[in-house]
Amino acid sequence: MSDELSCSPLRVADLSFLQIEKHIERSPSLILPIGALEPMGDTIPLGAVNSCCEMIADALSDCLKVLVAPLLAYGNSTPFQSFGGSAGVHRDTLANVVMECCNSWLFQGFKRIMVLTLAMDGRQWIDSAAKRLNGVPGRDDSVRFCSLQDDDRFRSFCSSRFTGTEYGRSEWGVRALAGYLQPGLQAGLVVKRKSDPPDATDFTQWHRRGRDPEKLRKMAPAASFSASADGIDTGSGKELFEHIIAFLTEEFSPFLIVKDNASR
């Protein structure tokens, strides 16, 4: 009987530790999705970033046949804590949590870990975590990170489809992904917003001066930094999802598919 796991995607949470240890022998790689309870306007569900990031990680796991860890749902979303339900941790705390988790997995025999996030300002904690994780002797380049909102390929696609102004993140992109990946949410996504996005200068100053939650609520009462249309483009959401999976597969397959283990 084959030891190959038949489940797809290969979710760590759905497997026993013995199954995971056996799989590590063949493919010692792991994907860790990082979410955030980050509002994307007043019409989209608060968990949209989480669900979209998790589905992207699952799809990548399916494509590359590597394990995927459970989503870490509370990201660096403290600037949004003035909005109901939104909660998160400081960027240093998030970097520490990611580092501790990755250290555990590397101790168990994982050799390559990809950390993926769709939340805003991913680079603020990623740089710290990457330096500390990959700075250990004998562990060069064991953990790689991808912040989609900071990725030129993600941003270029969004700007090619959406001609309006967006600050700090692409709400249009998340709305499109959510509309495609969770069709049942569409009715809630087309409700008219309560206010316009903030002034660009005000947003820049807020972002540079500490990202104060109370100031954000006053500046952007609808939790939106975008002049995007009220509706969503599910067709573009499908294209964007396929685009993301394509460029992530191209970039990370040489990293996640460890040659010494690929033939086992």
Least confident of 9-13, 43-47, 157-161: 43-47
Here the tokens at position 215 are 């100031």
Stretch 246-262: mean pLDDT, rounded?
A: 86
Binned at pLDDT 50, 70 and 90, residue 68 comes out as very high
Least confident of 48-57, 145-154, 165-174, 188-197: 188-197
Q: Specify if 171 maps to a domain.
A: yes
DSSP, collapsed to helix, strand or coil, labels residue 197 as: coil
C-alpha to C-alpha distance for 117 and 135, rounded to whole angstroms: 21
**pTM of this structure:** 0.91
Q: Specify if 260 maps to a domain.
A: no
Here the tokens at position 223 are 């939790």
Q: Which of 252, 216, 120, 228 is nearest to 179 (CA)?
A: 228
pLDDT tens per residue across span 186-230: 555 544 454 577 888 898 899 899 899 999 999 989 888 887 655
C-alpha to C-alpha distance for 68 and 53, rounded to whole angstroms: 12
**39: phi > 0 → left, psi -120 to 50 → alpha, else beta; which?**
beta
Q: Specify if 2 maps to a domain.
A: no
Burial tier of 150 (Cβ tally within 10 Å: 0-12, 13-18, 19+): middle
C-alpha to C-alpha distance for 200 and 210, rounded to whole angstroms: 16
Alpha-carbon separation of residue 223 from 4, 18, 31, 46, 128 (angstroms): 46, 45, 30, 11, 27
pLDDT at 2 over 70: no
Q: Specify if 233 maps to a domain.
A: yes
> Residue 232: its pLDDT value, please?
73
Q: Specify if 138 maps to a domain.
A: yes
Here the tokens at position 88 are 């998160």
Stretch 229-244: mean pLDDT, rounded?
A: 85
120 vs 135, residue with greater confidence = 120
Q: Specify if 4 maps to a domain.
A: no
Looking at the 3D structure of the chain, how many domains does it have? Answer: 1
Binned at pLDDT 50, 70 and 90, residue 264 comes out as very low
Angle between helices 171-181 and 234-256 (to 10 degrees): 90
pLDDT at 39 over 50: yes
Least confident of 116-130, 158-172, 244-258: 158-172
Q: Specify if 185 maps to a domain.
A: yes
Q: Which amino acid is at 210?
A: G
Here the tokens at position 70 are 């459970």
> Residue 216: its pLDDT value, please?
92
Q: Which of 108, 134, 109, 123 is nearest to 168 (CA)?
A: 123
Strand ranges, E, within 66-157: 67-68, 112-117, 143-147
Domain holding 214: CATH number? 3.40.50.10310
pLDDT at 95 over 90: yes
Range of the domain at 123: 10-255
225 vs 231, residue with greater confidence = 225
Q: What mean pLDDT is reported for the chain? A: 88
> Residue 194: its pLDDT value, please?
46
pLDDT at 152 over 90: yes
Stretch 96-108: mean pLDDT, rounded?
A: 95
